[in-house]
Structure 1
Amino acid sequence: MDRVWDSLPLLITQFQRSSVQCKDANNKLMNHAISIAHLKRFTRKCVAISLTSFFGFMLVTLSPLTSHAQLSDDFTTDSSLNTDMWTTSSGLLAALAVEFNSSLITPTLSFGGAGMNFSGVKGVNELAGVQSLATFSPPFTLTTTVTSGQAHGNAYEIFLVSDGLGVWMNVAGNLNPGNGSYFGVWVNYDYSGLPFLSLGNKLYSDPSVNSLSTVQIFIEDTGIATVSLFSASGVLLGVQSDLDVGIGPFYLILGQREGGPNVVGANAATWKNVSLTQSAPAPVLAPITWTDGMVTLAWSAVAGATYQAQYTTDLSSAQWNDLGPPITANGVLVTTTDSPGSDQQRFYRVVLMP
């Protein structure tokens, strides 16, 4: 069954009054929307309902639907490591250290308003990690936000590894420009043809300490992955797609590692949060634009994921019409256009294709 994320229906209707009561607008749309096939876990929340007039048309947007979380930890609210979810010592972590010719050390962890402070790696060939106790099978999206206050090697490193390390991928933040060609954010995975000891392929060439970054990894049920890196303001810094990483199941490890940096020294990172949700992240429709009789729709996306925009003139009908062919995203934003013609109203939704 298609995964339908039409959580932001856009109602374009003839503008007849200067204001609409949030409650009335919510009830009108929700009473119809909840009866539509495929709609699941519809989030009912009025988002300061947005009323924007475009040449006599009015836009009503509702809140986004969120997918079911398989793992979620907001480290900014933790006082200690949640040992029901994580461990710092396991046979898997020990085996991972062996693959990197490294010693496994126990990380130094502390918690505060900024998140989980992670340090301890400060010598040649050392590795430390916080490993999930649960495993996860694609499709899923992993999202985590992290910063580093001090870096000599890989101040932060994200691993997705199977039991026995037969399938793996990692994203490494080597944030010390003094490391020359090793400086940057890197992606490596089992089918890249490069060994564990290689940093892999560069995702971003100019990272910095004391700057929040968000790493997002989307793995399809076929084992094909897309890795994206965003700045604190949401700007896309780098993306790699069509990575054949396999289907796992995967353990998640938030780690830190030092190989042989030019200057040996301490590493410190702060993990703000981490979540792992089923399937690709829900697309969020941006405010509509209306120009010369043409509607432009835009929504957030994951490179490599395929979306189908649809419309209907009547929410009481289960029939939705495809708005053009499916679109495979090659970045973090997808746009398409529509000409409503003589229709007095149209509702739009986006379907995340399987």
Structure 2
Amino acid sequence: MPLRNVTLLGATGSVGRSVRDVVAENPDRLSIATVVGGRDAQALAQVAIEVGASFAALAEEDAGPLLREALAGTGIASGAGRDAVLEAVARPADIVVSAISGSAGLEATFAALAPGRVIALANKESLVCAGEAVMARVAEVGAQLLPLDSEHNALFQVLGAEPLAAVRSMTLTASGGPFRSWSAERIAAAGPEQALKHPNYAMGAKISVDSASMMNKGLELIEARFLFGLEAGQLDVLVHPQQLVHGLVTFRDGSVSAGMAVPDMRVAAAHCLGVDGRLDAPAARFLDLAAAGTLTFEKPDLVRFPALGLAMAALREGGAMPAILNAANEVAVAAFLAGRLRFPGIAALVEAVCAATPGGCDAPRDVGTALAIDQDSRRRAASLLSQASFTVT
């Protein structure tokens, strides 16, 4: 089999680490030539050297000199800023892993779409903010979009060659996060330290907080709507603390198929990277159902976790509302992590921004429009955040 060339966007994050592990396990089939990070020059330089990359780029332009210094003498070219990221995306690659966190990954993901390329998508915000535009571009250029989120990857594998008409509904599972069994009062008093303690995965700060509020699962519902072309009423969530079942597909004839695996992002990464055939995994990555024992499922509590309900409402409304919801949430989570907002304030701020936005806005048809909606919504959120009702005292 030919050696597949990989471009890794979000190389220093948790998904990036999983992808690097899978590539290291399959050196005869995969190679990482280009890496992109956010602002940590030392971390990206270390990754670039470790994987033998030929080019490294940082999104933060001011960190460019630090990256050049860290890579001095290695022969690895580097750049920083928007143009450098787009240069990285334009370099030859068979597979582009899009794992830049948040709406910051939208432009790079869209630019990565090219004929014959495989895009392994872990940046759900690309579809949340501009799902119609992204999927239209995928079809136009003939790229292949593979979901790298564990839930969507499970659904994708379960669906297989079945036609969409055979599907009655799809269900994404959620761990319930660190606050699954907490009372509303205890959740209200939680700080960043508690919110960052995900029960099953080691993830970045933003996605960990989204898991704690269950906003992450709401964003994943919106992502699934575009990935699979379903209606809002065909998508649902079940809380499954063991996180061994990642997704369920219910077919028209009443049969239900489950996508199962250990809670390890390297499983989904291996599927996406194994474009020429499945890759071998270490024994520790295989599911032992007898050892797992009981599997439990429960409906999500939208009273204790209102963020999920807000995302479901945005999914039903459609148009620009998912992009507005996502932007407001990114501002709210950043404020919570900075100590400027209490945990219940995350959902409250998102709700206020969505309520203050005129309804009926069309879904963005291109990246520029999506980014404009994102920036306008961030300004609204920042303005509301400064009001006394959202101030932490």
TM bucket (normalised to shorter chain) is: under 0.3
Indicate the structure with greater helix content. Answer: 2
Q: What is the TM-score of this pair, normalised by structure 2?
A: 0.25
Normalising by structure 1, we get a TM-score of 0.27
Structure index of larger Rg: 1
Higher relative CO (Cα under 8 Å, sequence separation at least 6) belongs to: 1
